[in-house]
Structure 1
Amino acid sequence: MPDPDHPERAFCCHGCKAVFETIHSEGLDNFYDFRTAAAVTPRSLSRADIERLRELDHPVAQEEFVAPVKGGLEAQLLIGGITCAACIWLLEQHLGRHSGVQSFTVNHTTQRARLVWSPDQTHLSDLLIAIHELGYTASPYHTDEAELALKAENRSAIIRLLVAGIGTMQSMMLAVPLYFEVLSDMSPEFVQLFRWFSLLVATPVVAYSARPFFSNAIRDLRSRHLTMDVPVATAIGLAYVASAWVTFFGGEEVYFESVCMFTFFLSLGRFIETRARYRAGLTGAAMGSYQPRVATRLQGEESEVVAAHQLRPGDRIRVKPGETLAVDGVIVAGQSTLNEAALTGEYLPESHGPGEEIFAGSINGESPLEVQVRQTGSRTRLSGILRILDRVQAEKPHIARMADRIAGVFVSRVLIIAPLVWIGWWLAGADNAFDITLSVLVVTCPCALSLATPTALTSATLRLRKLGFLPTRGHTLETLGDIDTVVFDKTGTLTEGRLHLLNVAPEGDLSEQQVLAIAAGLERHSEHPIAGVFKGMAEEPVEQVNNHLGQGLTGSWRGKPAVIGHREFVSEHVGRALTPPEDAQGIDLWLAIDGQVQACLLIDDRVRADAYDAIRTLQARNISTVMLSGDRSSHVERVARELGIDEAIGGASPEDKLARLQSLAEGDHKIMMVGDGLNDLPSMAGASVSVAMGSATDLTQLRADAILLSGNLQLLVKAIDASRETRRIIRQNMMWALGYNLLALPLAAAGLVPPWLAAIGMSASSLVVVLNALRLSHGHADPAPADNPQQTTSDGKTATVT
C-alpha cells in the first residue's frame, strides 16, 4: 500500500494518485488487503468521454437497458477491467456511498452489474463517470455482448480441459515405465530425465488448467468460507511442489501424473456442469436477441427503417412475414399467425387479428401486419421476463445453501484429518505417508456435493422455462414439490376471462345468420365487453344507433326500429315479459325488430379447454383442488360441477379468499394459488407458492413466485412433477456423494488407494451426479410420487358452494 505521507514516491501517474486518495478518504483501505492482482491503471476522462457518458442520461438512450423499479430506476451494465474480487469489493463500496444509489452489485463471473438509483438525486452519467475514474469501464449491457462473453468463457474452459488432457496422457506415458518397471535396467540418469520431462509437462497444467482452483481457494481463505477449491488447490499444490523438490534435489517419488490426472478429471466434471449453465445463459441471451434492433415505421403512405429504440408509443410499424416484432403493440391492420415461443414456450403459431395485443419477440408468419406501438425497449414484456430470469439465477435456494454448508463442514474436517493421517503414518515409519495424505485430500474432495445441486436446479429451471412456466423466485422450484392443495381463481384462470356466444335461440322469422349480423351491426357502436363477442362477425348496416348505458342499444335496420339489450330493457320495447330458455346459462341478451322478439342470445365466459384435464391430473396425484371466486354463486357452482372441483366458494371478497387460505395453512396444507387479477394479490401472498397467469396484470406477475407464460394449466402439473423429480435427483446425488466420501475416506487413510486412483474415483463420483442431474433438462425421468399424499378422492365429486 502506498505511503500516505509521501504519495509522490509510490504513484506512477496522477490517475493512480487520485484513486489512492479516493480510497483513503472514503475509508476503503481494506481494498489493498483483498487485492490479489494488480488493478487496472486509472486515466483521466477527456471531454469527449464525458460527453459520451452524458448522452446516456437521455431517456431515449436508456430505453434498451434501463427499467423502472420500486423507488427508482434499474440499469444493467457490463463492467470492464475487473481482475480480482478486490475490484468488485472496491466498486460496490465506492458506488454504494454515492448519493441516490440504492444498490450496486457486480457478478464476478459475467462481470455484469445491476445498478438501482434514484434519478431525482443523481444522474446515471455521474455514476458511470465515477466508475471510469476508478480505472474501470461501464457500458450498457446488451445480449449480444453477453453471448460473446459466454462463448469466450466456454472456449477458455475447453482449452484448459485440453491442456489438462494432453498433460495427463503425456505424464502417464512417462510414469508407466517407472511404475511397472518396464525398463528394469533403467539407469538413475534416465529416471531423472523422465522426471524432468514430467515436470515440463505438468507445469502448464498446474499454471493454466488448475489456475481457477488456486484463485478460488485464495478467495475462499480470505473470506473465511471453505469450499471444495481449498482441498483441491491444497492437493494439487502439495503434490506439484513435492514432486518438483524431488526432481531438483532428489528423493523417492514424484506425483506429476497424479497432479495432471486430478486436474483433468476435476476440470472435466466442472466443464460438464458449466455447460448446463452455459446453455441456460445462451437461452437468456437468445431470448434477448429476439428483439431486433430496427423496425419499419409508417408515416402516412411513406415508410422508413429506424432503430427500435427510436420508436415511441403511438407510432405505427409494419411487420413483414418472417420478421420479429421489436415492440409490444396492438394490431391495427392485417391478419396473420405469430410464433410466440420466446414468450410462452408454445411452438405452435397462433392466429392474431385487428385489436389484439402482441408482444416483442413474436415472429410474424405469412401476412404483413400494421402494429401500433405501446411499449418499447426495457419496458416490453420480453425484457421483463429477462429481468426475472436474472433475478432467479442470482438467488440461491435453501437446498443449495444447505449443500454448500455441508461441503464447507466436510472440507474443514478433511483439512484436519489429512495432517493427522500424515502424522500417524510418519510416526509408524511408513515411507508412503505423503502418498496416503495426498490420496485422502483428493479422494474426499466434496466436488459432487457442491456441483450436483446447482446443476439439478439449473437444468430443471431451464426445462420449465422452455415449456412456458417461469419461476420468479429462488425458492419456487423446491417448494413446488410440497404442494398438496391448489387454489384457483375462476375468471381468467379456470375460464378464459372473456365473453363468448354460447347459443342462439331464434324466436322470429329471421335466420340465425341474420340475427347475428344485425346484433353485430348494433354492437359495433358500443364499448361494452359484450360488444367484443360480435367483433369479426358479418354485419348488417344499422343506422341512428343510440347507446343506453347499462341497458342496451337501439337503432334502425331497413327502416324498422331495432333494439338489443338486457331482458328488462327489451321487454319495455316489445310490451311483454320475456322468459329465457330453461337451460339458459350466463347472460341472456335479447334482439327485437319492429316490436317483435327475434332471438335470445346466451353469452357467458367459457371454461378453458385444458382446465378439465389439469384438474383431473392434479387429483390423480392426490392434490386437492379449490376454487375461490368473487363471482356469483350460481356461475361458480356450474363451473365447479363441470370441472369436478373438490371445493368451490363463490361471492368471496379478497379478505374471504385470504381467510380461507389461512385456514388451509393452519391445517398444515402446502398451497399453490393461481390467479390473474389484482384482487388475487392478498390470497397469493398467503400461499406457499403463487402463480400468475400469462395474461395477468403486471403487478400480479411482479408479486407472483412463478408466471404461467403460455396460460396452459397442464404446466402446473408438470412444474410440480419437475420439482419432485428434482428433489429426488438431488436426494440421490447427496446420498451418493456422502456415501462415496464416507467409504473412500477410511480406505484412503488405510493406504489402500494410490493418488492416481483417488483422482479417478473423485472425478467419477462428480461425473455420476452431474450426468444424473442433467437428465432433468431433457425431461426423461418419470414423474415422482407425492412426498406427503393426502386423502383425496377424485371420483364422483360434487362441488360445495357457500
Structure 2
Amino acid sequence: MNAHAVWAHPLLLAQVLRPRRDGRSEVALRVDALGNPRQALALEQAIRALPGVQRVAILPAARRLRVVWDAQRLTLDALVERCAALRCPATPLPHDDADDARAAELHDALKRLLVAGMCMMQVMAYALVIYIGAVDFVDFTTRGLFRWLGFLTTIPLVAYSAQPFFAGAVGELRECRLGIHLPVALAVALVFLASAVNTLRGSGEVYFDSVSMFVFLLLAARYVELRARHHGTAQGDAAIDAAPLLAQRRRGDGTLETVPALALRTGDRVHVAEGDTVPADGVLETASARLDEALLTGESRPVLRRRGDALVAGSVLLDGPATLRVERSGKATTVARIGALAARARQSRSFATASDRDIARFVARVLALTALTAIGWLLVDPARAFDAALAVLVVACPCAFALTAPAASIRALAALARRGVLVTDSAALSRLARVDIALFDKTGTLGVPRLDLAAIEPLRSGSREEALALAATLARESSHPLARALADAAGQTAPAQQAERVEAVAGAGLRGTLAGRELRLGRADFALGHAPPIESQHDALLLADADGAIAAFRLDECPRHDAQATLDALRTDGVAPLVASGDAPGRVAALAAVLGIADWRARQTPDDKLALLRQLRADGHVVLAVGDGSNDAPILAGADVSAALASGTGLAQAHADLLLMDDRLAGLAFARGVAGQVQRIVAQGRRWSLAYNLCAVPFAAFGFVPPWLAGIGMSLSSLAVVLNALRAGRDGGEPREELRA
C-alpha cells in the first residue's frame, strides 16, 4: 500500500482541506526543504505542472507551501507523493477557520481602502476646478459638470468604502450605546447628502472632497492596524499542533497501519516511535518509557512512565519505541479539553475600559451640541440651521479619538516587532499599561528548559573532578538532555580514552566500560541495581560501578539569563511577580528563591491556574499572564494581558496577546514602557481634541465656520494627532542596558 494513501482518508481531508468558493480546494503543507532555494524552486515548478493546480505560494520563513487546485483532477495523496518523489517530504497542516476569517477580513478592508483612494484622487481633481472658480472665472456650465462628476465619483466611496462605519453605527444603536462609528457615519451621511442636494439644485456648497478625504484617512488607519494585528497572530502558524494528525495503529496480526489520529478508538493499540508525539490519551503497555511533558504539564524534567501509567496526547517520547492502548482521542484528549477551556475563558473575557466610556460621553456631547445648534438657528434663521449644525458636527467629529489610538498603536506595534515582540491584539497595549500583577509559569518561562549542574556529591574516595570526568565519559555518548548537561559541565576534564560498549537503557540511563571498569550512570535504581537507600537520591543522577555508588549529580533548572533583570524592571514599574507552575514544590520554591519571588504556587493544574487568575481579577488586579505550554492556554486566554514565548506550543501562542519571538523576557519590560508611552500619547490627543473643540465649536455654532472650512480644520487636526502619534516607541520605551544584553 502506498505510504501516502492515508491522506485520502475522509477524516484527514476534512481536517486539512479548505474548500473555496470557486469549487477548488486549498491546502497548507509543511515542507522543511523550502529552506533550500534551489529545492524550493524545483518543487514549485513541479507542482505547477501537475494537473488541476491553479496557484502555488511559498512561505520560506514558515516552511509552508500553499496549493490551490482542482481536487477532482488531483488527489491530496498524489500531491504529497509528488513532493516526496522530489525529496521534499510534505506534511499537510490542519486548516484554521480563524485564519480564513482573518484573511477574508483583511482582504475586504483592502478593497474598501483601494476604492476610497481611487475615488478620493478623482474627487480632488474635480474639486480643483471648483476651487479655481472661487478666485478666477470658470463658467457655470463647467463648474456644474465638475460638481456632478464629484457627486457620481463619491457615490461608490460612500456606498461601499464607508459601509463599515454605517454598519458599526447601526450596531451601536442596536446595543443602545454611543461609540465612535455613530458621529463618523452621521458626518459622512450628512455632508454627502447636503452636497448631493446642492448638486441637484445647482446652487450652494459641495464638500465631496472633504468627505472622501475623511473616509480614506479613517480606512487607512483601520487597515494598517488590522494588518499589524493579523500579522502578529499569524506568527504562530509555523508551530505544529501538540497532537499529530497521523498514528501508527497495530492490526490484529501485529502489523502496523497508518491511520488518522481522529480515527483511533478506545482499545486500539498504537505504536509510538522514539522522538514521535503521542497521538492520543491512553495507557502505556511497554515496560517503561521516558517522556517530555514540559509543554503540557509544566514538569521541567523528562518523566518516567511505567506499564499501566497514563500518557497524554502531545507529550514526546524520548526513549522508544512504546506501545499505547488508546482511551481517548480527538476532542476528548487532554490537549483538546485544555483548548476548549481556553476558548471559553476568552469568550467570557470582557474589557469595558475607561476609554470606551470617555468616547461615549464625548459622542453624546457632540450630538447634543449639534442638536442645540440646529434648534437655535431654526429659531433665529432657519436657512442657516443646516449649514451651522453640519459645521458643528464636522468640527467636533471625534477624529482625535478615531485616529490617535490606532496611529499610536501602529507605530508601537512596529517598534515592538523590531524588538522581537509581536502584538496580536493592539487593544492589549492599553491594558498592559495598567497591569499590576504578572502571573508567570515556571518551566520554560522563568526557568530555561536546560539542566545545569548544581552540585556533585562524591560518595566514595576521590575528588569531585574525578567523578565528573568519569560520568562525562559516558554522558558524551548520549544525546539525552541530562547527559548533555553533564557533558557540558565537564568541559575538557574527561579522560582522554573513550568508554567502550556504551549502551543506553530506555528510561534508565547509560552503561559502559572504561579501562575494564564497568560504569553505570542514570536513575538510582538502575545504577545500583536495586532501590536506593537514600530517598533524596531519587532527584539525582547516580554514577556507580560494581562496588557501589561513586557520586551523585544533582541537576537544577536555571533561570533565564534576563529573568532577574526583567522582574526587577517590572517591580520598579509597580508590577508584582507571582509564579504558578505545574512543577514540584521543591523546584518551584528553589527557582522562586533565586529570583526573589515571594509568592508562588506549585502543582497547579490548568483549572487551578484559571481559578487563581479569576480570584486576582475579582480582587481588582489587572493581570499579565506569561507562559509557554498548552496547560497555560486557559490563563493566557482569560488574563487581562497575556504573553507567550516563541518556543511555546501553538495552543499557547494562539491565546496570547504578545509573542516574545526571540524567547527573551526583556521584551515584557520594553512592551510595558511602550504601552505607557502610547497611553500618554492617547491622553495628549484627547487633550488636543478638547482644546480644539473648545476653540472651534463656538465659532461653528454661531455660523462663522462654513462646512468646507470645518472639513479643513478637521483634517489638520487629524494630521497633528497622527504626527504626534508617530513618536510612540521612539523614546520612553527603551529598555535598560542590562535588559538588552
TM-score after normalising by structure 2: 0.59
Kindly provide the CA deviation profile for residues 29-81 of structure 1, in whole angstroms up to 9, marking residues without a partner as x.
xxxxxxxxxxxxxxxxxxxxxxxxxx999455545565xxxxxxxx8x6699x
Deviation at 1:503, TM superposition (A): 6.4
Q: What is the CA–CA distance in structure 2 between the aligned matches of 1:760 and 1:56, rounded to whole Å? A: 62
SS at match of 2:676: helix
Instruction: Report deviation, 1:161.
Output: 2.4
For 1:628 and 1:479, locate their aligned partners in 2 and report how far apart those are by CA, in whole Å.
21
2:730 to 780, 783, 786: 780
**Equivalent residues in 2 for 1:521-670 (5 A)?**
521=477, 530-531=482-483, 533=485, 540-543=498-501, 545=503, 547=505, 554-565=511-522, 588-593=540-545, 595=547, 601-629=553-581, 635-645=587-597, 647-649=598-600, 653-654=604-605, 668-670=620-622
CA distance in 1, matches of 2:687, 2:636: 35
Aligned equivalent of 1:270: 218
Structure 1 gap segments, 5+ residues each? 1-54, 67-74, 81-124, 126-137, 178-182, 184-189, 248-253, 292-309, 314-328, 333-380, 581-585, 786-802
> What is the CA distance between 1:607 and its match in structure 2?
1.3
> Which residue number corresponds to residue 196 of structure 1?
144
Q: Which residue of 2 aligns with 1:72?
A: none
The 2-side partners of 1:687 and 1:282 are apart by 20
2:413 aligned with 1:413, yes or no?
Answer: no
* Structure 2 CA distance for aligned equivalents of residues 57 and 546 of structure 1: 38
SS for the counterpart of 1:490 is: coil
Q: 1:168 to 1:218 in 2, by over 3 A?
A: same
8 Å CA contact 2:671, 2:733 repeated in 1: no
**Residue 708 (structure 2) pairs with residue 756 (structure 1):** yes
What is the 5 A alignment of 1:264-303?
264-270=212-218, 272-274=220-222, 276-277=224-225, 279-280=227-228, 283=231
Structure 1 pair 270/556, CA: closer, same or farther in 2 (3 Å)? same
Written as runs of structure 1 = structure 2, the 5 A alignment for 1:396-545 is 398-399=352-353, 401-402=356-357, 405-406=360-361, 409-410=364-365, 412-413=367-368, 416-426=371-381, 435-457=387-409, 460=412, 464=416, 467-469=419-421, 476-502=428-454, 507=462, 515-521=471-477, 530-531=482-483, 533=485, 540-543=498-501, 545=503
Residue 732 of structure 2 aligns to a residue whose secondary structure is coil
Indicate the SS of the match to 2:558. Answer: strand
How many residues of Structure 1 are paired with residues of Structure 2 in the alignment? 548
CA distance in 1, matches of 2:211, 2:672: 38
Are residues 203 and 143 of structure 1, via their aligned partners in 2, closer, same or farther at CA, if it must alter by over 3 Å? closer
Distance in 1 of aligned mates of 2:126 and 2:573? 52
The DSSP-based 3-state class of the residue aligned with 1:761 is helix
1:243-302 deviations in Å (ceiling 9; x for gaps): 54244xxxxxx313xx144235424532542452364278479869989xxxxxxxxxxx
Shift in Å, 1:717: 1.7
Preserved CA contact (<8 Å) 2:440 2:578? yes
Task: Report the alpha carbon displacement of residue 761 of structure 1 after superposing the two structures with TM.
Answer: 0.6
The one-letter code sitting in structure 2 at the alignment partner of 1:780 is: R
CA distances 1:623-658 after superposition (whole Å, capped 9, x unpaired): 22233456566654543343333x144656558877
CA deviations 1:231-251 (Å, max 9, x no partner) are 22212321342354244xxxx
CA gap of 1:398–1:499, structure 2 versus 1, over 3 A, is: same
Amino acid at match of 2:501: E
Instruction: Report the alpha carbon displacement of residue 402 of structure 1 after superposing the two structures with TM.
Output: 4.3
Counterpart contact for 1:565–1:589, Cα < 8 Å: yes
Question: Which of 208, 227, 232 is equivalent to 2:188?
Answer: 232
- Give per-residue Cα distances to partners, 1:533-585, cap 9 Å, x unaligned: 468999945438584966x5544445432122467876789x999999xxxxx
Give the deviation of 1:720 after TM superposition. Answer: 2.5
Q: Which residue of 1 aligns with 2:119?
A: 160
Distance in 2 (alpha carbons) for counterparts of 1:403 and 1:79:
46
1:630·1:651 contact (CA, 8 Å) conserved in 2?
yes
Structure 1: which amino acid aligns with 2:210? F
Contact map agreement 1:724 1:784 (CA 8 A) in 2: no
Q: Which secondary structure does the structure 2 equivalent of 1:500 belong to?
A: strand
Shift of 1:674: 2.8
Say which SS state the counterpart of residue 434 (structure 2) adopts: coil
In structure 2, the residue matched to 1:255 is 205
| 1:169 alignment counterpart | 128
The 5-angstrom pairing of residues 43-54 of structure 1 reads none
Structure 2 contact 112–161 (Cα < 8 Å) conserved? no
Take 1:156 and 1:143, find their aligned partners in 2: how far apart are those partners?
A: 20
Aligned residues: CA RMSD: 5.6
User: Partner of 1:493: helix, strand, or coil?
Assistant: coil
Q: Could you tell me the TM-score, scaled by structure 1's length?
A: 0.55
Return the offset for 1:166. 1.4
Distance in 1 between the 2:374 and 2:730 partners? Answer: 45
* SS of the residue 2:670 aligns to: helix
Contact 1:276 1:459 in 2 (8 A): no
Q: Which amino acid aligns with 1:750?
A: F
Q: Which runs of no fewer than 5 residues in structure 2 stay unpaired?
A: 1-6, 24-71, 73-96, 175-181, 240-257, 262-273, 278-334, 736-741
Paired residue for 2:671? 719
**Is the CA contact 2:646–2:659 (under 8 Å) kept in the aligned structure 1?**
yes
Counterparts of residues 101-116 of structure 1 (less than 5 Å): none
Contact 1:398 1:475 in 2 (8 A): no
Aligned to 1:734: 686
Distance in 1 separating the partners of 2:580 and 2:11: 43
Deviations 1:413-442, CA, capped at 9 Å, x for gaps: 355235324313416xxx766543442343
* Deviations, residues 690-710 of structure 1 (Å, cap 9, x unaligned): 444444455555666655454
User: 1:748 offset after TM fit, Å?
Assistant: 0.6
1:172 CA drift (Å): 0.8
Give the Cα–Cα distance (whole angstroms) in 2 for the partners of residues 405 and 774 of structure 1: 26
CA positional deviation for 1:146 = 8.1
CA contact (8 A) 1:589 1:600 kept: yes
One-letter amino acid matched to 1:497 = P
CA contact (8 A) 2:190 2:390 kept: no
CA distance in 2, matches of 1:79, 1:767: 42
The higher-RCO structure (CA 8 Å, 6+ apart) is 2
Per-residue deviation at 1:614? 0.7
2:195–2:208 contact (8 Å) kept in structure 1: no
Say whether the 8 Å CA contact 2:366–2:393 is kept in structure 1.
Answer: no
The letter of the residue matching 1:206 is: T
Q: 1:657 to 1:278 in 2, by over 3 A?
A: closer
**Deviates further, 140-149 or 56-65:** 140-149
1:554 to 1:773, Cα distance in 2 relative to 1, 3 A: same
Instruction: State the AA in 2 paired with 1:228.
Output: V
One-letter code aligned to 1:562: L
Q: Which moved more, 1:446-455 or 1:491-500?
A: 446-455
User: Aligned in 2, Cα 1:287/1:566: closer, same or farther, shift over 3 Å?
Assistant: closer
Find the residue that maps to 1:563 and give its secondary structure: strand
> What pairs up with 1:313-392 in 2 under 5 angstroms?
none
CA distance in 2, matches of 1:153, 1:662: 41
Hey, what's the Cα distance between the residues in 1 that align with 2:484 and 2:536? 25
Label 1:446 to 1:162 Cα distance change in 2 as closer, same or farther (>3 A): same
Kept in 2: contact 1:143–1:288 (CA 8 A)? no
**Which residue identity lines up with residue 364 of structure 2 in the other structure?**
V
Cα distance per residue 1:384-427 (max 9 Å; x no partner): x9xx99x999x996457546644653564355235324313416
Question: CA offset at residue 711 of structure 1?
Answer: 3.0
CA pair 160-503 structure 1, distance change in 2 beyond 3 A: farther
Deviation at 1:152? 4.6
